């Protein structure tokens, strides 16, 4: 199977951005893990190590950005949250274009256990004005979207993941991606499965299985959580009439939260949310944890049937 980990796409994007002399990479010790070290090896003079100090990293990045640089700062998703108030007051509030990447998002992170599995990052960053929030589904789309970020005038948070999952895009199809626009990977008329991150490939697999039951499910890669592609959701409400969201994140406040807010305000429709149901994770293999927490293929399929039944 053709596999990739989105964190590798972040590293390769930084290398591809290196022609821009204003791009600088900021690390808080975890460059080996977030893959920013791919940039460090080639461009040590434009890589700033700050040791294990996430709060410091956020404001050093802000200072660089106000001086004309394009800082890409990364650590584990969970540890970006160590600097949350720094992001809020020091980056988002003055709208300084700092690009934060949180790797190892979600319970899929696996055996490191609950301390390393951020299940709330999308929710907290989505709540901040001015922030772009991205969670791409594979390495190829992560690379493509990260490169787009370099010319954004807003700060951003991008969640990547540790483990390899089936690739969704190739070098041709990825060029259709645009920040803020969801991608319809599969057309459907009975139910729309809106997924992000590692759940996108699972959603495609589920849609295939559902077609054997005569259920025609649309699958959306909602790689941008904020701004949410409301137009796409509205059109899906018309064509499909019900929804499932699937994310490796708390069902509170992330993709499921964003979609439910949009639906409630604009075009009410049944919605089933697949995600972590308001509890912390534990050690285990990524797929084992998704299965245990009701986020596996069978759970998504059942959620689709339930949503259809509520129409």
Partner 1 sequence: MTTVQDGNSSQFEIDILLETAKNCRRKIVEMTHRASAGHPGGSLSAIDFLVALYKTRLNVNPSHPKDPERDRLIMSKGHASPAIYAILNEMGFISEQDLTTYRELGGVCQGHVDMKWTPGVDFSAGSLGMGLSFGLGVSLAARMDGSDRSAFVILGDGELQEGQIWEAAMAAVHHEVGNLNVIVDRNRIQNDDFMDVQMRLFDVAAKWKGFGWAVKECDGHNMEEIVASIQWLDTVKDRPAVIIAHTVKGKGVSFMEDNPAFHGAAPNDEQLAIALEELK
Contact with partner 1 (CB under 8 A): which of 16, 29, 33, 46? 46
Contact with partner 1 (CB under 8 A): which of 15, 59, 179, 232? 59
Interface map 87-126 toward partner 1 (x if CB under 8 A): --xx--xxx-------------------------------
CB of 99 to partner 1, least distance (A): 14
Nearest to 104 by CA among 248, 224, 225, 222: 248
CB of 55 to partner 1, least distance (A): 4
Q: What contacts 125, CB < 8 A, 6 or more positions away?
A: 87, 131, 133, 157, 226
Interface map 23-42 toward partner 1 (x if CB under 8 A): -x------------------
Identify which range of 58-66, 184-192, 235-243, 245-253 contacts partner 1 by CB under 8 A. 58-66
Active site residue 85: no
For residue 178, CA distances in Å to 144, 145, 147, 148, 221 come to 9, 7, 11, 8, 12
Q: Per the residue annotation, which of 54, 81, 143, 247 is the catalytic one?
A: 54
Whole-angstrom distance, CA of residue 179 vs CA of residue 144: 10
3-state SS, one letter per residue, for 194-258: EECCCHHHHHHHHHHHHHCCCCCEEEEECCEEECCCHHHHHHHHHHCCCEEEEEEEECCCCHHHH
Nearest to 16 by CA among 169, 206, 185, 143: 143
Residues between 182 and 221 that touch partner 1 (CB under 8 A):
none
Contact with partner 1 (CB under 8 A): which of 16, 29, 43, 56? 56
Does residue 86 interact with partner 1 by CB under 8 A?
yes
Contact residues for partner 1, defined by CB under 8 A? 24, 45-46, 48-51, 53, 55-69, 71, 85-86, 89-90, 93-95
Residues acting as catalytic residues: 54
């Amino acid at each position: 199977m053709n596999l990739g980990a989105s964190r590798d796409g972040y590293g390769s994007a930084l290398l591809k951005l290196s022609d821009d002399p204003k791009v600088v990479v900021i690390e808080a010790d975890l460059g080996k893990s977030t893959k920013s070290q791919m940039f460090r090896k080639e461009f040590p003079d434009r890589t700033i190590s700050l040791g294990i100090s996430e709060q410091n990293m956020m404001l050093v990045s802000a200072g660089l950005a106000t001086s004309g640089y394009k800082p890409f700062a990364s650590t584990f998703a969970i540890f970006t949250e160590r600097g949350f108030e720094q992001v809020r007051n020091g980056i988002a509030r003055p709208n300084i274009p700092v690009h934060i990447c949180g790797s190892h998002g979600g319970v899929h992170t696996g055996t490191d256990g609950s301390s390393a599995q951020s299940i709330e990052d999308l929710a907290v960053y989505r709540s901040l004005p001015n922030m772009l929030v991205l969670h791409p589904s594979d390495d190829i789309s992560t690379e493509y979207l990260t490169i787009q970020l370099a010319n954004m005038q807003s700060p951003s948070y991008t969640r990547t993941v540790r483990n390899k999952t089936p690739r969704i895009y190739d070098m041709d199809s990825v060029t259709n991606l645009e920040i803020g626009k969801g991608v319809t990977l599969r057309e459907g008329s009975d139910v729309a499965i809106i997924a992000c991150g590692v759940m996108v490939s699972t959603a495609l697999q589920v849609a295939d299985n559902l077609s054997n039951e005569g259920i025609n499910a649309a699958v959306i890669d909602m790689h941008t959580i904020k701004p949410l592609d409301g137009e796409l959701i509205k059109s899906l409400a018309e064509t499909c009439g019900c929804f499932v969201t699937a994310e490796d994140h708390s069902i509170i406040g992330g993709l499921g939260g964003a979609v439910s807010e949009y639906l409630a305000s604009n075009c009410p429709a049944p919605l089933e949310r697949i995600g972590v149901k308001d509890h912390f994770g534990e050690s285990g293999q990524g797929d084992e944890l998704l299965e245990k927490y009701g986020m596996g293929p069978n759970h998504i399929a059942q959620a689709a049937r339930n949503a259809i039944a509520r129409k």
